[in-house]
Structure 1
Amino acid sequence: MMKILFVCTGNTCRSPMAEAVLRHRGADRFEVKSCGVFAMDGSDASFQAKEVLKENDINHKHQSSTLREKDIDWADYVFTMTAHHKWAIMDQYPGASDKVFTLKEYVLEDPEDMDVSDPFGGSVELYRHTYSELDSLIEQLIMKLATD
């Protein structure tokens, strides 16, 4: 099974939602984890993230974790939520540069913006927007990984 790691900042919003969506859609084809470049270990996903996942019939238990070298080593692909996350990882783990991509750069031909919208601290409606963005990107990710 292919091993996919999603990375964001605090590992309470975007990367847990991405992890949950991919696990929900591709459970038989992927092992999925998420981490944060500045996460506090053991935090729950945000209330809004959990609410939006529940609205989409996705059950996901989550505990945040800080990105570590063992996570990079584990993954076949590391997909970040922003270009900043990608650069931070490549700066700290230069040997992993061949498997680290922003999610958008990997699945979109020529993205105008490399970053997935950040709903942190926003309303449930803002989280719904980010969920929708992630859902579409992950649908495209699954198709692309099937052909790569």
Structure 2
Amino acid sequence: MVTRVLTVCTGNICRSPAAALLLEHYLGELVTTASAGTHALVGHGIPTSMRECLAGAGIDGSHHVAQMLTPAIAREHDIVIAMTAPQRIDIVRQTPGVLRRTFLLDELALAARAQMELAGETPRARLADVPHAIQRFRPQLAVRDVRDIPDPYGGSSALYEEVFEAIASSIEDLRSWIRA
């Protein structure tokens, strides 16, 4: 079984598509991904600065088209990853049934870095256990500095690179945790 992962940001043109494409790049056959925005710039593509960051990692971001987050989209995914705490609140307010499988990207990265125990003998089984592991890790997360991924839209190329690196680093940590 492939784990379905949804990444969410505001406009669905920078952070969430980059995260979805990086997840596919790093986790390959283990995931199918989609991305959406809480206030999406529907129909828009990824800005040049973020496409250049993706290209530097060997990823083509030219085919992305922004879409609005809907309850139906959220419900069809096993894991929902928000870039900021307010986005997580918006997701859960809109679709309460996804509460226990909606996380901040930094929460996943912190759990991965802490090497929280994952059930399962295979990467596929361990990935499927991530929502349960994060729930078990929540008390420890409460005392950690869980950070939002800032929105680079309209910012400098350096800001896009910084945000891209933060997303890529978090997803690399997640990959290592799952494939351990």
Taking structure 2 as the reference length, what is the TM-score of the superposition?
Answer: 0.76
Question: Aligned-pair distance for 1:106?
Answer: 2.5
Segments ≥4 residues shifted beyond 6 Å = none
Residue 138 of structure 1 pairs with residue 171 of structure 2 = yes
Classify the secondary structure of the residue corresponding to 1:108: helix
Alignment equivalent of 2:86, drawn from 84, 87, 97: 84
1:117 aligned to which of 117, 130, 150:
150
Q: Which has the greater radius of gyration?
A: 2
Give the match for residue 2 of structure 1: 3
- Matched to 1:24, the amino acid is H
3-state SS in 2 of match to 1:101? strand
**SS of aligned partner of 1:43:** coil
Output the CA distance in 2 between the equivalents of 1:74 and 1:145: 22
Distance 1:44 1:74 in 2: 23
Aligned residue for 1:28, secondary structure, equals helix
1:25 equivalent in structure 2: 26
Q: How many angstroms apart in 2 are the aligned matches of 1:135 and 1:45?
A: 16
SS at match of 1:115: coil
* Residue deviations 1:1-38 (CA, integer Å, cap 9, x gap): 11110000000110111111111111211101110000
Aligned counterparts of 2:14 and 2:156: Cα–Cα separation in 1 = 12
CA RMSD between the two structures = 1.5
Distance 2:148 2:36 in 1: 17
| Structure 2 counterpart of 1:131, one-letter code | F
* Pairwise CA distance, 1:145: 4.3
Aligned to 1:11: 12
Deviation at 1:117, TM superposition (A): 2.3
In structure 2, how many angstroms separate the alpha carbons of the residues matched to 1:40 and 1:72? Answer: 18
Deviation at 1:56, TM superposition (A): 1.9
Whole-angstrom CA distance in 1 between matches of 2:148 and 2:47: 20
Superposed CA offset, 1:38-85 (max 9, x none): 003211111111111112211122000000122111110000000000
Counterpart residue number, 1:100 = 102
Deviation at 1:118, TM superposition (A): 1.8
Report % sequence identity.
32
1:142 to partner: Cα distance: 2.4
Q: Which runs of 5+ in 2 are unaligned?
A: 112-140
1:46-61 equivalence runs, <5 A: 46-60=47-61, 61=63
Size of the aligned set, in residue pairs, is 147
SS at match of 1:27: helix
Greater helix share, structure number? 2
CA distance in 2, matches of 1:55, 1:135: 12
